Amino acid sequence: MTTNNTNIADFEIRDYRSFASRDESLLPGLSDLQTRSYDDFLQLTVPVSRRKNQGLEALFNDVFPIESHDKTLALEYGGYRLGRPRYTPSECRELRYSYSYPLRVKMALRQGDQSIEEEIFLGEVPVMMGGGEFIINGSERVVVAQLHRSPGIDFALDRASGDKKLHTARIIPERGSWVDFMVSGKGALQVRIDQQGKLIGTH
């Protein structure tokens, strides 16, 4: 009786061919959505003069300039920059700090032809790690995607109270509180702000 002592390692693969129709995996990185959105929001690698009007840049452009009532004074926005984090991720986990960028904004106070410019510290912006997580007070947190209602006015008809129809309307602003209008079973107009208690709208 003879035995074959040939080992798999003795075979050499000289040619490897792939018959796949795609060069890359069909599954993208699960955190790509969060990281791309974060990069578009901050535009860290984009020079100030070439930033698109989106994300944090769009927020500042929407708020500023702020003018006084008589139009003699104006507070203007001139760009923002993000500094280096003060602590490393390991230090933040150990000391229970938040891993964040210091946010500094260039502002200009104008009165006629005179202008005073200054860069001010506005706050901290959390740093997103490679996996889409943040370090907040030493703990890793993630952002959960949510559906956001589009601004506008919604009308509804409720038939829950017997045969009587109850009409409701909801105002959803781009910013601010949601306002609901409804007619009670007794015909009284009621108002509710941000899902709080109802207020009587008729007298």
How confident is the prediction for the chain on average, in pLDDT? 83
Report how far residue 159's alpha carbon sits from residue 185's, in angstroms, rounded to the nearest whole number. Answer: 11
Tell me the pLDDT tens digit for each residue of 174-195. Answer: 888 889 888 877 777 888 888 7
Average pLDDT over residues 87-100: 93
Shared domain for 86 and 43, answered yes or no, is yes
How many residues are present in the chain?
Answer: 203
Residue 18: CA atoms inside 13 Å, Cβ hemisphere, count?
Answer: 5
Any bridge partners for residue 22, and if so which?
Answer: none
Asked if residue 87 belongs to a domain, the reply is: yes
pLDDT for the residue numbered 11: 53
Domain boundary among 142, 161, 181: 142
Same domain, 137 and 111: yes
In a shared domain, residues 89 and 187: no
Q: Say if 157 falls within a structural domain.
A: yes
Q: What total number of domains does the chain contain?
A: 2
76 and 169 share one domain? no
* Same domain membership, residue 73 and residue 157: no
Q: d(Cα 202, Cα 184) in Å, to the nearest integer?
A: 11
The model's pLDDT over 112-148, given as tens digits with 9 standing for 90+, comes to 888 899 999 999 999 998 888 999 999 998 887 777 7
CB atoms inside a 10 Å sphere around CB 127: 19
Structure-token pair, residue 109? 């106070």
138 and 44 co-located in one domain = yes
Task: Answer whether residue 21 is part of any domain.
Answer: no
Mean pLDDT calculated for residue range 7-12: 55
In a domain, 117, yes or no: yes
Q: Provide the domain limits for residue 118.
A: 32-142
Instruction: Identify the domain boundary among 142, 166, 187.
Output: 142
Asked if residue 126 and residue 180 are part of one domain, the reply reads: no
Assess whether 81 and 168 both reside in one domain. Answer: no
Do the Cβ atoms of 179 and 154 come closer than 8 Å? no
Quick check: is 118 in a domain? yes
